[in-house]
Amino acid sequence: MIKYSDEKIVIRDAEKNDIPVLFKLINELAEYEKLSSTVIANEEGLAKVMFGENNFVQALIAEYEKNPVGFALFFHNYSTFVGKAGFYLEDLYVKPEMRGKGIGKKLLSILIKTAKERNCGRIEWAVLDWNKTAIDFYEKLGAVQLNEWITYRLTEDKFNDALSSD
């Protein structure tokens, strides 16, 4: 479903046939963030979480002159303090050569409108501390950096270690 359209830019819901394009954009993002070596995902797994029986991930695709140039990938979370669902924005990416055309802002605006339609209490995401351009972009929109929170990650390869530490 098309969420936004003008003479050059189209923002729409990702469809199953977009998986190869979306996965290519994800890999471009990983390369930009210098994290390519950490990508172990594949198209089949992405299709399963987006369009399988127990799907829970959604994405928006941005096109410029009918060419895919960016995406926003998100899913619901829940705040016990707010008492409402929210969105976690896992990735927001626009190809470097397409930045400055308002595409990222349109992707985020559509996500905000969707959050409002679904009565969500907030949208959260993480940004690499060296990505000053993204930080400036988010703060210009009114997003607030949560300096008092430290993000932790427990990866699958450490699950058994964590369980055996009892």
Enumerate domains of the chain plus CATH numbers. 2-163 (3.40.630.30)
Please provide the average confidence, as pLDDT, over all residues in the chain.
96
Tell me if the pTM is above 0.85. Answer: yes
Q: What is the pLDDT of residue 166?
A: 66
**Secondary structure of residue 65 in the 3-state scheme:** coil
Question: Mean per-residue pLDDT for 14-41?
Answer: 97
pLDDT band at 59 (very low <50, low <70, confident <90, very high): very high
Quick one: what percent of the chain has pLDDT higher than 90? 95
Question: Mean per-residue pLDDT for 4-13?
Answer: 96
Task: Name the region of 12 (left: φ>0; alpha: ψ -120 to 50; beta: rest).
Answer: beta
- At 82, which helix (H) or strand (E)? none
Give tens-digit pLDDT for 64-118.
999 999 999 999 999 999 999 999 999 999 999 999 999 999 999 999 999 999 9
pLDDT band at 121 (very low <50, low <70, confident <90, very high): very high
Catalytic residue numbers, as ranges = 138
CA distance 43 to 25: 12
CA distance 19 to 31: 18
Give residue for tokens 């969707």: 114
pLDDT band at 165 (very low <50, low <70, confident <90, very high): confident
Question: Mean per-residue pLDDT for 51-63?
Answer: 97
Question: Mean per-residue pLDDT for 26-45?
Answer: 97
